Amino acid sequence: MKNIEVKVKIGNFKKIVSILKSNGAKRGGIFHQVDTYYNCKNGRLKLREINENKSEIIFYIRPNHEENKVSEYNVLKIDKKKLKETKLFLSQAFGEKVIVEKEREIWILKNTRIHLDKVKKAGSFLELETVVKGKLEKFQTEYAEVYKMLELEKYTKIKNSYSDILLGK
C-alpha cells in the first residue's frame, strides 16, 4: 500500500477542526495508541495497540524529509489472544527501540486521512495522509488540495517519525 504524507507541528487543533467540518470531512473517532518501535535495518517496524483492544504490526518505508513524501507500508492485524506472544517474539527478534504513546483524532476527506495527534513527551502534530489507489498523479492532486485547504504551509514541517523525535534525532 502507498500514501502521500506530511507531518506538521501544531499548537491548537481548533482552526483545523473548523476547516475540516466546513469542508465535509467525517470524524473517524479518537483513539489511544501505543506504538512499540523495533530495531529494523530496512524501514520502520512497529506494533500498534489501539484502545487496548486492537493491535497490528506496521512495516513502512518513508524518507525523512520535510516536504510531502511517498510512503510504502504493510499492515498485519494481530489477534488479541496473540498480542503478548507477538510482542515477545518481536522484542526477541529485533529488540525494542522506543515506545510512542498518543491520542489520535482521525478525520477523513475522500482518500485523505487527517490525524490530529497529541504525542506524550513530544507535543501536538497533524499528519496528512492521502491513500494512493491507482495512479500517483491523481492522488497528488487531492493531497495538494487538502494541504492548501488546511493552510499547512503556515506550520513547521517535521521530517522525522515520532519515534525519532522521542529519541532526540
Cα maximum dimension of the chain:
48
**CATH number of the domain encompassing residue 32:** 2.40.320.10
What's the total number of domains in the chain?
A: 1
- How many residues comprise the chain? 169
Q: Note if the pTM is more than 0.85.
A: yes
Cβ atoms of 128 and 12 within 8 Å: the answer is no
Number of helices (H), then strands (E), belonging to the chain: the values are 4, 9
- Strand partners for 116: 105, 126
Confidence of residue 76 (pLDDT cuts 50, 70, 90): very high
Q: pLDDT digit string (tens) for 96-134? A: 999 999 999 999 999 999 999 999 999 999 999 999 999
pLDDT of 36 > 80? The answer is yes
Residue 64 has pLDDT above 90, yes or no: no
For the stretch 4-35, pLDDT in tens is: 999 999 999 999 999 999 999 999 999 999 99
Q: Which amino acid is at 40?
A: C
Domain hosting 26: range is 2-166
The answer to whether 101 and 33 have CB atoms below 8 angstroms apart is yes
d(CA 133, CA 166): 32
